[in-house]
Amino acid sequence: MKYLGNKTRLEDFLNETIELKRRPKQTALDLFAGTGAVSLLFKRQGLNTVSNDFLTFCYHRINSILLDKSPEPNLPLQTEQREGFITKNYSDSCGVNIFRRSIAKHIDGARSFLRSNRASYDSDSYSYYLAQIIEAADFRSNIMGSYESFYKAGWRKQCEKSWALSDFELYDSKGVTKHSVFNRDALKLLEDIDDWFDFIYLDPPYNTRQYASVFHVLETISLYDNPSVSGVVKKSIDSKNKRSNFSSKRACHQEMKSLIQLCGKKTDEVYMSYSNEGIVKPSEIISLLKDKFVTVDVYEYDYRRFKTNSRKKTNNTKVKEYLFHGVK
C-alpha cells in the first residue's frame, strides 16, 4: 500500500536497534500503527502487540494482517459492478481520474455488498474483506502517493489492471502471540487503557500533512458513508474533524509533551521514530523525554525520501530517521 511514513524499509534497523530477538512474549504498544508494518514485525519476533490508529482503513488493515490465518466466512464476498458513491465522485465518470470507471464500479459493488450483509460476518471476516477491497483499490489508483491529487498525464499502468482481490501474506504464530487493535485517538487511548507495556513504540506524524486529507479516498471507501465532499478531488468535509495536532506547528510541541507524559504512566521504556524534517527539533524531543525517562539515547538511519511529485528517475534527497529511546 502507498502510505507516507511506512516503516517497511526500516524493519532491519528497528529490529536490531530495539533488539526484538531478546523480547519474545513481551507486550508492545504500537500507538501510531499506520498500515501495520511495525506491528507485524513485532508479531514475527514473538511479541504480543497492541496496535492503534485513528483512521478506520488503517484499523481494518492492521486487524487483518495480524491474523494467524485467513478467515473463512459462510458468505463469500461478491464483487459485481455497481455505480455508487466512488464511481460518481472518484472516477473518469466525473473527471476526477483517481479510478477507471470499471474499477470504481467494482469498488462500489464490493463495498455495497459488504455493507448490506454486515450481519453475516464476524469482526475479523468483515475487516479482512474490507481491507482486501481497500488494498485492491489503492493498487489501481491513479495517484503518486497522495489522494490530494491525481496523475494528470494520463493513466498509470496499474490503473488498467483488472479487478481482483488478493489474500494477505499472514504469519501464523501457532497461537504463541496475541494481538488487539484499536481505532482511537492516541492520547485518549493512553488515558483510558489500563494495560502496562514492556515498551511503547511511537511513530507520530512529523510534518504538516494531515493523513485524513492525504488518504481521504481510502477512508471514504472504509466508512462508505456517502459524505458531503468539496474541492477538486472531492475530499470528505468530515475529514477536517480528523486533523491531528501532531501535524500542527502551533500545537505539536504541547501534544508531544502530553504524549510522553502519558507514556511514562504505561511503561518504563519508550521508542520514538521521528524525521530530521519534523516540526519538533530533536533537542526538544530529548528534553521532553528526559522529563519522564532517566536515560535517553538517539539512533540514526539515513535513507532516500519518496517524493510523490518527482519526475526524475532517481531521487538522491536523503532523509535522516531518528529513533529516540527512553528508559526509566
248-267 residue pLDDT tens: 999 999 999 999 999 999 99
What confidence tier does 283 reach under pLDDT thresholds 50, 70, 90?
Answer: very high
DSSP 157: G
Dihedral through CA 299, CA 246, CA 251, CA 317, nearest 10? 60
187-201 residue pLDDT tens: 999 999 999 999 999
pLDDT at 18: 98
Helix (H, G, I), strand (E, B) or coil at 10: helix
**201 and 193 Cβ atoms separated by less than 8 Å:** no
Give the whole-angstrom CA distance, residue 120 versus residue 117: 6
Give the whole-angstrom CA distance, residue 134 versus residue 215: 11
Is the overall model pTM greater than 0.75, yes or no? yes
Give the whole-angstrom CA distance, residue 163 versus residue 79: 9
Q: How far is CA 246 from CA 96, 165, 210, in A?
A: 30, 34, 9
* Domain coordinates in residue numbering, the chain: 72-167+211-247
C-alpha cell, 170: 499472514
10-57 residue pLDDT tens: 899 999 999 999 999 999 999 999 999 999 999 999 999 999 999 999
Mean pLDDT of the chain: 93
